[in-house]
Amino acid sequence: MDKKLTFEEIFEQNERRIYYQIHKMHIDDPHQEFFQEGLVALWNAYETYQPDKGAMATYFNYTIRNRLIDRMRRDTRQNEIHQQSAHDQRTRHTDGNYHRGADGSRPIAANQHLPLNDSDLWKELQSQLTDKQWKWVYYAIIQDMSYKAIAEQENTTVDAVKSWGKQVKKKLKNPRVRELLSCDK
């Protein structure tokens, strides 16, 4: 293919085309990242342009626009992944199933030697709790389920499950309830 114009000449003639596409798609580009993406698209279009397939300007517009759209999708996808990761970290840190101390956080079940086979203790505890509070004890402590999994199991919100856990913890701090549950009977 005989190219009469160099890329530098093509760039000079079409630089505004990149800015036009960025502006048309309402892209905020303070660091010129999208302009660079458009420049690469212009280069690719220049390299792959076939005159018998259509007008050069149309091909440049098409290539630049689609490259910018791809970049926006990629950025959006990366942002969503980052937000989900941050949400998972916050949830893992605040779901209440962990003991936090100077040495880091450890799961409550792994941190305590719970007498899981003492059915009398569990029955006594259950008698002191509401149905929802007992569900929290059963799922979060005995079954070691996450708050999210409990919420899905019980068809409620994670905040509701957290509330059940707070109520249980408050009751377990009560000296009268602690006395009732004491293993030294």
Which string of DSSP letters, residue by residue, matches 45-98?
HHHH--GGGS-HHHHHHHHHHHHHHHHHHHHHHHHHHHHHHHHHHHHHHHSS-E
Has residue 1 got a pLDDT over 50?
Answer: no
- Indicate the DSSP class of residue 28: -
Nearest to 68 by CA among 17, 5, 12, 138: 17
pLDDT value of position 106: 59
Domain ranges of the chain: 7-91, 105-181
Has residue 92 got a pLDDT over 90?
Answer: no
- CA-to-CA distance for 77 and 79, rounded, in angstroms? 5
Between strands 98-101 and 104-107, the pairing is antiparallel
Count Cβ atoms below 10 Å from residue 130 Cβ, excluding itself.
13
May I ask the CATH class of domain 105-181? Answer: mainly alpha
- CA-to-CA distance for 152 and 158, rounded, in angstroms? 8
- CA-to-CA distance for 116 and 110, rounded, in angstroms? 13
Model pLDDT for residues 23-36, shown as the tens digit of each residue: 999 999 999 999 99
Question: With bands split at pLDDT 50, 70 and 90, how would you rate the model's confidence at 185?
Answer: very low
Model pLDDT for residues 105-117, shown as the tens digit of each residue: 655 554 455 555 6
Question: With bands split at pLDDT 50, 70 and 90, how would you rate the model's confidence at 181?
Answer: low
- Indicate the DSSP class of residue 137: I
Model pLDDT for residues 119-171, shown as the tens digit of each residue: 677 777 788 888 988 888 888 887 888 888 889 988 999 999 999 889 888 88
- CA-to-CA distance for 22 and 61, rounded, in angstroms? 11
Average pLDDT over residues 61-71: 94
